[in-house]
Amino acid sequence: MKITRVTAWNVTMPMRSPYTIAYETFSRAENVFVQINTSSGITGFGCAAPDEHVTGETPDCVRGDLEERAPAVLIGHDPSRIAWLLQRLAAAVPHSPAVLAAVDMALYDILGKFARLPVTVLLGGFRRCMRTSVTVGILPVHETVELSAMWVDKGFRLLKLKGGRSVPEDVERVRRVRERVGPKIGIRFDANQGYTREDTMEFVSQTKGAHLELIEQPTPKERLRELGHITRGVPIQVMADESMVNMVDAYRLARRKLVDIMNIKLMKVGGIARAMQVDAVALSAGINVMVGCMDESALGIAAGLHFALSRPNVRYLDLDGHLDLIGDPAASAVRLRSGTLYPAEGPGLGWEPSL
């Protein structure tokens, strides 16, 4: 079996409800899909969700790499040699993790279809499903409470509230949401680098009664020492997101155990193969993992889910980037039941485009 063709195309998906985080407002997602054909007739699919703030890529750059550089590396070679092909591609596009992630997904999709097994089984098959959190962006207090209650009414048991602009307002939002949803709903908080060390300490102190599960990336990504001080100084778990982009970052965080949790996103690290490497670093340091996402098609969400389901060290899931997208061609790639995500049935990533 040899790779015979690589094609890419852009898909723009508006959001039903734009949302705001500490440094940006999002109203649409532009993903780049990739299709890899083989001589056996098996076809693999992947997608990239580039973000200049996170991956340093634009959709146009990603599509250019997938149409020009990826074919030169992949065509004519055995798609089951995933590690070798990804190493060659990484040398050709060293600063393009979303490109690597898209090709990585498609190669694992091919391997799973060839083996007639879901990717999660190929990777280890530790569990069959996981609960995911659902994100509530920065909104006025009343709207935050109402939207949180709506998600709970739909069956979600884990909420992630965004903040980082104002400690007093964030404290009020968290307290009011807890009052509304009750004690049995998990609440996570993501400051998206918006706090100082002092802000974080104040916020955690003032929200103690709300019993937050964790706080994500409270301080700027480059201030690792501050992050470590916070981790050692607060009674809740601290997670790195923007501070954890690649293997080097994972090693730095693990070496001094600066956080309790690392947020692995396939688009940041460059796909499933690299995610497994980062997870191994975290595991060696006794650090748990969350699998998160960008605003991405359910195809990308499916790849993250297959990885998450295969790894015992993945304790948390935040795969909701597809929920509010209009016109997602791969919406059937995952199944959602009362806040719990299941992979689609079938081999590989479980998705084929409609004819």
Q: Do residues 274 and 167 both lie within one domain? A: yes
pLDDT at 202: 98
Domain identity same for 155 and 37: no
Q: What is the mean pLDDT of residues 19-46?
A: 90
CA distance 231 to 214: 11
> Who's near 144: CB < 8 A, 6+ residues apart?
136, 161, 173, 176, 177
CA–CA gap between residue 210 and residue 215 (Å, rounded): 12
From 117, 152, 179, the end of a domain falls on 117
At residue 23, the pLDDT reads 67
Do 90 and 227 lie in one domain? The reply is no
Model pLDDT, residue 22: 67
Residue 203 maps to a domain = yes
**Do residues 238 and 325 both lie within one domain?**
yes
In a domain, 350, yes or no: no
In a domain, 274, yes or no: yes
- Do residues 59 and 140 both lie within one domain? no
Residues near 181 by Cβ (< 8 Å), separated by ≥ 6?
A: 148, 149, 152, 159, 187
- pLDDT value of residue 26: 80
Q: How many distinct structural domains can be found in the chain? A: 2
214 with 332, same domain: the answer is yes
Same domain, 88 and 195: no
We report the CATH number of the domain holding residue 335 as 3.20.20.120
CA atoms within 13 A on the CB side of 232: 8
User: Is the residue at 240 inside a domain?
Assistant: yes
Of 57, 84, 117, the domain-final residue: 117
Same domain, 319 and 281: yes
Beta-bridge partners for 265: 292
Question: What range defines the domain where residue 58 resides?
Answer: 3-117
Say what the pTM is: 0.96
- Give the integer Cα–Cα distance in Å for 159 and 140: 16
Q: How many CA atoms lie within 13 A of 134 on its CB side?
A: 22
Q: Which of 54-58, 171-175, 189-193, 203-207 has the lowest mean pLDDT?
A: 54-58
198 and 94 fall within a common domain = no
Mean pLDDT of 215-223: 97
> Each residue of 91-132: pLDDT tens digit?
999 999 999 999 999 999 999 999 999 999 999 999 999 999
Model confidence at 168, in pLDDT bands (50, 70, 90)?
very high
104 and 134 in a single domain? The answer is no
Residue 192 lies in a domain: yes
Whether the Cβ atoms of residue 217 and residue 232 lie closer than 8 Å to each other: no
CA atoms lying within 13 Å on the CB side of residue 319? 35
Among residues 117, 147, 174, the one where a domain terminates is: 117
Are residues 235 and 104 located together in one domain of the fold?
A: no
